[in-house]
């Protein structure tokens, strides 16, 4: 019987720099935690309109999002790290989005996909919220109408960079508290 050889070219993530010894390796805790977190982000797709379809394409097999570690997308904010807001958010939906964000546990990141979520897009009108950063703090903005799946993946990779380099004390620091004050979040 011929041995099955499917994915023989495994890609491994680079180990962080540290001291290697006989059976142990010593690195900084932040680096390890950052490495673990960034390669296993669980996103919450808040897909509202057309960008949601692009997200579906991104999650599908051609432009796989699962290879970045987000195999499991959750639809419950209590279990997710990344809130991906995709699509037009109307003013009536604003408080709902804020409620979803408040229900997420720290550490949490927000990825705003598409022109409508970033700034209201072409819908400069009385009913559309001109950018979700009027209600929640955003980490990465992906422009496009709609952005191609490659662009969404690029935004996701930037979130991964942010996650990997985030200091473990950031969420307790003053700057973060000030940011939350601006949005009125405790």
Partner 1 sequence: MALTNDTIKLKLQEKFGEAIIDIAEPYGMLTFTAPKDLNLKILQYLFDEEELKFRFLTDLQAVHYPDRKGEELMVVYHLHNLVDNIRIRLKVYTDVKDPKVYSATALYQSANFMERETYDFFGVNFVGHPNLIRILNVDEMDYFPMRKEFPLEDQSRVDKDDEMFGRG
Q: Looking at beta carbons only, is 69 or 120 nearer to partner 1?
A: 120
In terms of residues, how long is the chain? 186
Q: Looking at beta carbons only, is 40 or 130 nearer to partner 1?
A: 130
Taking the complex as a whole, the smallest distance from the CB of residue 178 to partner 1 amounts, in Å, to: 22
Taking the complex as a whole, the smallest distance from the CB of residue 92 to partner 1 amounts, in Å, to: 5
Taking the complex as a whole, the smallest distance from the CB of residue 124 to partner 1 amounts, in Å, to: 5
Q: Looking at beta carbons only, is 44 or 116 nearer to partner 1?
A: 116
Taking the complex as a whole, the smallest distance from the CB of residue 94 to partner 1 amounts, in Å, to: 8
Cβ atoms 114, 151 nearer than 8 A: no
What tokens were used for 119? 């700034």
Q: Looking at beta carbons only, is 76 or 127 nearer to partner 1?
A: 127
Residue 63's closest CA among 161, 146, 153?
A: 153
DSSP string, the chain: -PPP-S--S---PPPPP-EE-SS-EE--HHHHHHHHHHTT--EEEEE-SHHHHHHHHHHSSTT-SGGGT-----S-GGG-SEEEEES--BTTTHHHHHHHHHTSPSS-EEEEESHHHHH-TT--STTB-S-GGGTS--SEEE--SSPPHHHHHHHHHHHHHHHHT--TTGGGSHHHHHHHHHHT--
Taking the complex as a whole, the smallest distance from the CB of residue 7 to partner 1 amounts, in Å, to: 49
Give contact residues for partner 1 (rule: CB under 8 A).
91-92, 120, 124-128, 130
Q: Looking at beta carbons only, is 92 or 175 nearer to partner 1?
A: 92
Q: Looking at beta carbons only, is 92 or 169 nearer to partner 1?
A: 92
Taking the complex as a whole, the smallest distance from the CB of residue 182 to partner 1 amounts, in Å, to: 16
């Amino acid at each position: 019987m011929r041995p099955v050889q499917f994915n023989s070219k495994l890609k491994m993530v680079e180990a962080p720099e540290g001291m290697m010894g006989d059976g142990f390796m010593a690195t900084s805790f932040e680096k390890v935690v950052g490495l673990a977190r960034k390669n296993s982000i669980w996103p919450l797709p808040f897909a509202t309109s057309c960008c949601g379809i692009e997200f579906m394409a991104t999650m599908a097999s051609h432009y796989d999002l699962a290879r970045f570690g987000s195999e499991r997308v959750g639809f419950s904010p209590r279990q997710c790290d990344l809130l991906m807001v995709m699509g037009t958010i109307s003013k009536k939906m604003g408080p709902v989005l804020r409620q979803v964000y408040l229900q997420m546990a720290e550490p949490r990141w927000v990825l705003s996909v598409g022109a409508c979520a970033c700034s209201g897009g072409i819908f400069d009108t009385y009913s559309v919220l001109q950018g979700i950063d009027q209600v929640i703090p955003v980490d990465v903005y992906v422009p496009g109408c709609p952005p191609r799946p490659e662009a969404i993946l690029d935004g996701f990779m930037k979130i991964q960079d942010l996650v990997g380099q985030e200091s473990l004390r950031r969420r307790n620091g003053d700057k973060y508290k000030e940011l939350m004050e601006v949005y009125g979040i405790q």
